[in-house]
Chains A and B, each alone.
Chain A
Amino acid sequence: MSLKRLKLGLLALLASSGPALAAGSVLPRPSQVFDQYLQATGGAAEWRAKKSQKVEIEGRDPESGRVILKAKLTTARNGNALHEVQIPQVATEGVFNGVAWAWSQLAGPRIKHGEDRDQALRSSHMLEEADWRSLYPKSTVDGAEHVNGKFCYRVSLLPSAERRMEWFDIETGLLVRRTSLEPSGDGEIAVSETVESWNWHEGLKQPSSLLVERGELLYRLVVLDVAYNENTRPDTYRLPPPVETYWAAERAGRALPNAEEIIERHIFVSGGAAAFETLTTQRVSGTLDYLSSGLKARTETWATTGGRYYQSVDIPGLGKQEEGSDGRIAWERSPTLGPRAKPKAALAGLGVTVDAAEVAAWRLLVSEVRTEALETVDGHECHRVRVVSRDGKQVATRWYQRNNGLLYRTSMPMQTAMGTIPTVLTYEAYRDVAGLKWPSVIRVNASGQDLLFHADDVDLNGQIDGAVFQLPDEIRKLAAERFADGAMSTP
């Protein structure tokens, strides 16, 4: 979640001291609208008297009341800023003397560059209402229309990279709504903020509650506390030690890219988050060679949304090993160990499609990612990234190729019913399949045993006959007996 976007809901608002114009009249100049807003919220002098601002905010799901955001935002008129976030993740970011930075418990420190930096600098403008003439000199009043039951002027703030628009109540001069387009990895996200209530504090009238729509996310943003002129000392905004260290390394040309950026780049070059999110079916067939023992197995994997999954591996001498789920019951079966219906906890570890969706939502699954090194693996220059699971119990290491951003290798402990198997997967021969980069060769080392997987057919988002996910009769019977208490998996 972007602090910058949240902050937009708190940015100072503009007014005009001129008389309100009736609908159908000639549209006013932007200065009239802005100055009316300034006047309605305390006056230009009061706005300019504020040298710093500290706001505590909380965002809640309007339906469930669940807190999805909690943060403290401190900004100074000179452009320095410090944002401290507790929810959804512990993170800080800010601007100090033109250096835009971020640190998160998830991914550690990074210095912002390019558009990322520009956006941070733009959003660090404190109480910009008083400075609108210098910030948005080419603004226009585009029309008058009803918004949220109020007749409003629609104003385009120009120039603004985010294409910001604001609606002001013709009668009161107060802000009613503002919209913008926020850059994201896959394009732009539409953001809309509608003011629901106002509060006076230290001579300024500011929104105290806003309804925010950010893409598909809807939440109510409430201002818990406001304080002015408390944080005027530059030390308040100084880079925290880990960021300072990182910044020094970057200036010396020794800094490694932030792990979050590496993973996002991987997703982007693999086809983009949207492509993963829209992945509904997968069918992969190929061969699995057990290199040391000379065995070659045939494998087939089907998966679709809802956790439905089926995989078979036919190993000469061992027979067909099967595993699957109909979305409710996870199961496995082999000639050696027989049939087994698994408790629903096992379902979480299954599913190709679930996996794919997790690619875009990877932050929900991990508690920490860190770039550890730049090193050469099999002749490939790779960034080594450490990934810690959400519960902190599992640590995986991934190597992302520096030249193309693709994942080259993963090393992780694989949990099985019999214990943990240290496993190294090496991804090779990426192919383009349905807009995604797909590794057609995967080398596996599992506790010292070498295997080689060759995908000879990969079909994404194709038609899959649902019958393939139906439970075998013996599994159905077994599950009915074993989970008679209702402990089976639920969709």
Chain B
Amino acid sequence: MLSCRWINVLVARTIFLFLFAAAACAQLTPSQKRANQDSFETVWRTVRDRHPDPKLNGLDWNAIHDATAPKIAQAASMDEVRSILREMIYKLDSSHYAIIPAERYETKTPSAAPPTVGSTVAPGPAQTPATATTPAQQPPPAATVEAASDASDPAGKAIRFANLPELRLHFEAKTLPGGIGYIRFNEFLDPVSIMPKVEAAVRDFAKAPGVIIDLRGNPGGIGIMAMGIAGFFISEEGRQLGKMTLRETTLNFVVFPRPQTYDGPLAVLVDGGSASTAEIFAQGMQDLGRARVFGTRTAAAALPSDIIRLPNGDGFQYAQAGYTSFKGRVLEGNGVVPDEVVENRVIEAAQAWITGLTRK
């Protein structure tokens, strides 16, 4: 049917769902074993077909298949199956590969105490082979300097998106001493609730001497939210945060300026718990000369990814694109290097920079 171009329009606008989120011993029944075998094949095939590097970092993927298949067949528990799969995907030496246990989809995230800023999560891959957890799923880091809580909902808002397990979302916007605006959120998720809050904050901070966006401990989320939030702080058309390279094409992270933008000094705070979309936002704004970045080097885990459900009920997160910033910086394995490396009293450092600009 030639007249179905509307479906293209529809797809074009909604295809950018790439996730940039850096992400149990009973006997197995015969049906579980079959499901595990199918899951193994799905994981192996998905990596073969979707990994951004068609050469799979030089690995002999067929040989890996043949070596792994018997292990899956002989595995005695779900934990063992997951361990074997993780062993296989970690050979790729890339972030954004994870096996998410099915139990994670069945249990609700406990209402934890609000996360604190000044994360102590160590820089490095977003998930480790042992746990495959995202920084967001790590135990809340110890507070160091300033607590940033959502006063209206201390437990955070429970959200589910696509094949992500349930997560808790926190947002905070407040005015710091000196009239400086401060915005913090712990995931790039739920744009329906987050974006209006950012918009309202930008409106409230219209005359602020500066604004601080605190992305410490933020593991990322929906990639296009980086573009959407950048649009509140960039008024010039045609700017880009960077680009992601899939096997078939390259897509630019274009910034669409909002009707109302904040054009004053902007500080972005990061740490080792800042990953993925948080890194894309911070590096892009730094590259464009729009923001000064404070804190410590980020997680160096920034690959566009997707999460699918496997036949055995587990989730499988896999990378499907590479990412480079506007100035060509590869974030995967490198992370964002702050303009001002500050381990403690990060907010104060950003405040001092803004105040200094005001005095000039």
Do A and B associate with each other?
yes
Residues on A lying within 8 angstroms of B by beta carbon are 266-267, 270, 276, 279, 284, 288, 290, 292-295, 297, 299, 301, 303, 311, 313, 315-319, 321, 323, 332, 334-340, 349-352, 355-356, 358-359, 362, 406-407, 413-423, 425, 427, 430, 437-439, 442, 444, 446-449, 451, 453, 474, 477-478, 481
B251 proximity list for chain A (CB < 8 A): 416, 418-419, 421, 447
A413 to chain B, nearest CB (A): 8
B196 proximity list for chain A (CB < 8 A): 335
Partner of A293, one of B50, B253, B306: B306
A439 proximity list for chain B (CB < 8 A): 1, 4
B1 proximity list for chain A (CB < 8 A): 270, 406-407, 427, 430, 437-439
A317 contacts B227, CB within 8 Å? Answer: no
B222 proximity list for chain A (CB < 8 A): 318, 336
Measured in the bound complex, the distance between the Cα atoms of B6 and A355 in whole Å is 8
Closest 8 CB pairs of A and B: A293-B162, A319-B192, A317-B161, A419-B251, A336-B191, A336-B228, A356-B3, A416-B12
B311 to chain A, nearest CB (A): 14
Sample (22) of A-B pairs whose CB atoms are under 8 Å apart: A293-B17, A293-B306, A301-B6, A311-B10, A317-B159, A321-B13, A337-B227, A338-B195, A355-B5, A358-B2, A362-B2, A406-B1, A407-B2, A413-B249, A414-B8, A414-B11, A416-B13, A437-B1, A442-B7, A448-B247, A453-B10, A477-B259
Measured in the bound complex, the distance between the Cα atoms of B251 and A359 in whole Å is 30
Partner of A355, one of B2, B191, B195, B320: B2
A419 contacts B250, CB within 8 Å? Answer: yes
B17 contacts A290, CB within 8 Å? Answer: yes
Additional A-B contact list (12), CB under 8 Å, known A294-B162, A413-B249:
A317-B189, A336-B191, A359-B3, A414-B8, A418-B251, A421-B11, A425-B8, A427-B4, A437-B1, A447-B248, A448-B247, A451-B11
Measured in the bound complex, the distance between the Cα atoms of B109 and A359 in whole Å is 52
Partner of A337, one of B231, B248, B308: B231
B349 to chain A, nearest CB (A): 30
B258 proximity list for chain A (CB < 8 A): 338
B359 to chain A, nearest CB (A): 34
Partner of A311, one of B6, B190, B246, B248: B6
A447 proximity list for chain B (CB < 8 A): 15, 246, 248-249, 251
In the complex, whether B14 has a CB less than 8 A from a CB of chain A is yes
Interface of B is mostly: mixed
In the complex, whether B163 has a CB less than 8 A from a CB of chain A is yes
Closest chain A residue, CB of each to CB of B7: A442
A421 contacts B227, CB within 8 Å? Answer: no
B83 proximity list for chain A (CB < 8 A): none
Closest chain B residue, CB of each to CB of A415: B12
Partner of B195, one of A303, A335, A423: A335
- Known A-B contacts A323-B13, A447-B15, A474-B259; A418 and B6 likewise in contact (beta carbons under 8 Å): no
Q: Bits for B211-233, please: 1 = Cβ < 8 Å to A, else 0.
A: 00000000000101101100100
Q: Bits for B241-278, please: 1 = Cβ < 8 Å to A, else 0.
A: 00100111111111010110000000000000000000
B149 to chain A, nearest CB (A): 24
In the complex, whether B307 has a CB less than 8 A from a CB of chain A is yes
A453 proximity list for chain B (CB < 8 A): 7, 10
Measured in the bound complex, the distance between the Cα atoms of B308 and A299 in whole Å is 23
